[in-house]
Amino acid sequence: MRNVPRRAGHGTPADSGTRASGTADRAATHRRAADAARDGPALRRAAAEFIRLHHDEARRGDPAPRIAGVFAEIDGTGTYRHTHDELVFGARLAWRNAARCIGRLYWRSLHVLDRRELTAAGDIAAASAEHLRQAVRGGRRIRPLITVFAPDAPGRPGPRIWNEQLIRYAGYESPDGRIVGDPRNAGITAFARGLGWPGGPGTPFDVLPLVVQGTGDDRPRWFWLPPDAVLEVPIEHPDHAWWAGLGLRWHAVPALACMCLEIGGVCYPAAPFNGWYMGTEIGARNLADSDRYDLLPRVARGLGLDTASDRSLWKDRALVELNRAVLHSFDRAGITMTDHHTESRRFLAHVGREESKGRTVGADWSWIVPPLSGSTTPVFHRTYDTVERHPAYVHHPEALARTRGESGRALV
């Protein structure tokens, strides 16, 4: 399920450790703006809007008493605490509102783990590993899951997970500029090494440690991910025995970790969530993009294709076979994965279901249309309303900088 509101490798800035001061400046600017947006009247408006929405859709009756209680809490503390039901409702609606996500048909099935009591880095890391275990049921079936940690509060920022996803592969940069592993993660790999991580065996698929910053910590810490929390799939081809020699694999749970869950004006900066993969995320982006694993030339050589001219369509043919291999491998392993044709039809079913309830579905066409054979899918042949709604999963600029290993002194 493509429940991640981003495309792997899409619009990725160059990984560099030389822009830390600029990142800190941008983070400070964003922090001031975000704090201002959550202060006083703006927070009261956002909270009241969310409470009304919750009471309306959940048929909970008159929202006025709850709004009055929330306002009193804001007046006394500068923020307010969601009930468990509000947290679950908000997390699910944030998925329903994700304009870049094609897999929203399943938004009601999101399971929410409320871990707001956790603020220490070690506890966050342990609970994140447990998230990965609980996301996989029966050793194979993947379920949509979010773990919500402590929110930001006035003068007390919540914890942060620096990794883009809970599972990512290291990118080791050599002195000549070549990278072993995933170039997207070269910056965070170097940053983790600077924190003391010794590195892995040096393969193209070494699992990165978790880099976590707890509430009140000046610097993040790194933590190994236990092997039993990392489910991986060897990528082989149904027709070509030589494919196994490529040594490919990919992790099974796409748990996005760097986005803020914003509900009613409250920001939960550490809230890792996952669905299941759509095959093209791995086969058409992670393994194929020229600034990622760049496997199309190797696949084309193995297939004996003429790569002298683009007019031979060797890239297209290699891309299809790479995607066939990904789908075949996940199916053979019995691990949940969808394909772009099926998910496109399901997305339009979601659109129809929402419109029947009087709700317009916001969607970004450039992200909804799959990166492989887009015009053969029904989502290609229509336009969408691009409006963004709240609750929402939001990329804050300083969080994106952290995923690249760019460190300023500021926590947020």
Neighbours of 137 (CB within 10 A): 12
pLDDT in tens, 358-368: 999 999 999 99
pLDDT in tens, 280-318: 999 999 999 999 999 999 999 999 999 999 999 999 999
Active site residues: 101, 104, 276, 281
Instruction: Name residue 207's beta-bridge partners.
Output: 169
pTM: 0.88
Share of the chain above pLDDT 70, in %: 89
**What's the alpha-carbon Rg for the chain, to the nearest Å?**
22
Residue whose C-alpha is closest to residue 1's, from 270, 344, 366: 344
**How far is it, in rounded angstroms, from Cα 31 to Cα 22?**
14
**How far is it, in rounded angstroms, from Cα 98 to Cα 347?**
12
Burial (CB count within 10 angstroms: exposed 0-12, middle 13-18, buried 19+), residue 204: middle
Q: Is the pLDDT score of 411 beyond 50?
A: no
Q: How confident is the model at residue 217 (pLDDT cuts 50, 70, 90)?
A: confident
User: Which pLDDT value is given to residue 162?
Assistant: 96
Neighbours of 203 (CB within 10 A): 14
